[in-house]
Amino acid sequence: MTIQKSEAIVLKTWSFRETSLIVNLFTKDFGKIGGLIKGIRQAPQRYGGLPLVFSRSSIVFYERPKRDLNLVTQCDAGEQFLPIRRDLEKTNYANYFLELLDAVTFDYDKNEGLFELTVDSLKALCLEQESWRIARIFEIRLLNLSGFKPRLDSCVNCQRRITAEGRFSSILGGILCPRCFACDSRAKATLRGTLASIDYIEKSSWQKALHLKIAPDIASELVTILTSFLDIHLDKRIKSRKFLI
């Protein structure tokens, strides 16, 4: 067994037998892993307390290549994101971020960008009043970092540059030019400001993205487009979304 250490975000926890805990973690250095923490429910102080969902912890674990679960021997909570835990709306958004992160990742598929995005988003939730804004930034950047990015700079069917009003096709994964509207009758007319906002959020710094002014009609169109795109390309419904405002 090889001993490893990493920073990790706690995605889920389950009780195991009388005294132990199973944890699903998204680590900075190894991607998503499963772990067993033996005896922690009997003596949580030995581990620095019980690991809480969406806390950021420093973990030490023994890799067990032939077993589903690694043996976690240390799980020190570094950041608990307390302002989120005191606010139901923020808690719902944090749970949504973790469910999306879990849905786009596979075990042992390291993605430091996704780790940093999640930490930045949880930190921003602690400070920012507008949780919906952080959610749109999280969704757009998560799609980018996990290889699900929609095609917006040219027609997803014929690859021509979009010069007139395009329509967004969730099924085809991007914008259709007027010549290709027939490829998807359910593609939706999309405001230019919506596409420009997605492009800006993808390319700008975290701070600049947080301060982007988003008009109400664009905010509402972003929800429609991103929800339908995520549902189709993740091939599953994200259950925690129904608790968002």
Binding site for Zn ion (CB under 5 A): 155, 157-158, 177, 179-180
Report, in Å, the least distance between residue 226 CB and Zn ion.
22
Helix axes 131-145, 216-234, angle to 10 degrees: 40
Report, in Å, the least distance between residue 1 CB and Zn ion.
54
Q: Quick one: 88 or 158, whose CB is closer to Zn ion?
A: 158
Report, in Å, the least distance between residue 156 CB and Zn ion.
8
Report, in Å, the least distance between residue 154 CB and Zn ion.
8
Q: Quick one: 127 or 182, whose CB is closer to Zn ion?
A: 182
**Secondary structure in 3-state letters for the chain:** CEEEEEEEEEEEEEEECCCEEEEEEEECCCEEEEEEECCCCCCHHHHCCCCCCCCEEEEEEEECCCCCCEEEEEEEEEECCHHHHCCHHHHHHHHHHHHHHHHHCCECCCCHHHHHHHHHHHHHHHHCCCHHHHHHHHHHHHHHHCCCCCECCECCCCCCECCCCCEEECCCCEEECHHHHHHCCCCEECCHHHHHHHHHHHHCCHHHHHCCCCCHHHHHHHHHHHHHHHHHHHCCCCHHHHHCC
Query: How would you list the strands of the sheet with 174-176, edge to edge?
Result: 174-176, 167-169, 188-189
Task: Enumerate residues 6+ apart whose C-beta is below 8 A from 87.
Answer: none
Q: Quick one: 5 or 160, whose CB is closer to Zn ion?
A: 160
Q: Quick one: 116 or 184, whose CB is closer to Zn ion?
A: 184
Report, in Å, the least distance between residue 206 CB and Zn ion.
33
Beta pairing, strands 56-63 & 2-16: antiparallel
Q: Quick one: 179 or 208, whose CB is closer to Zn ion?
A: 179
Report, in Å, the least distance between residue 183 CB and Zn ion.
8
Q: Quick one: 112 or 153, whose CB is closer to Zn ion?
A: 153
The residue type at 32: K
Report, in Å, the least distance between residue 128 CB and Zn ion.
38
Q: Quick one: 177 or 226, whose CB is closer to Zn ion?
A: 177
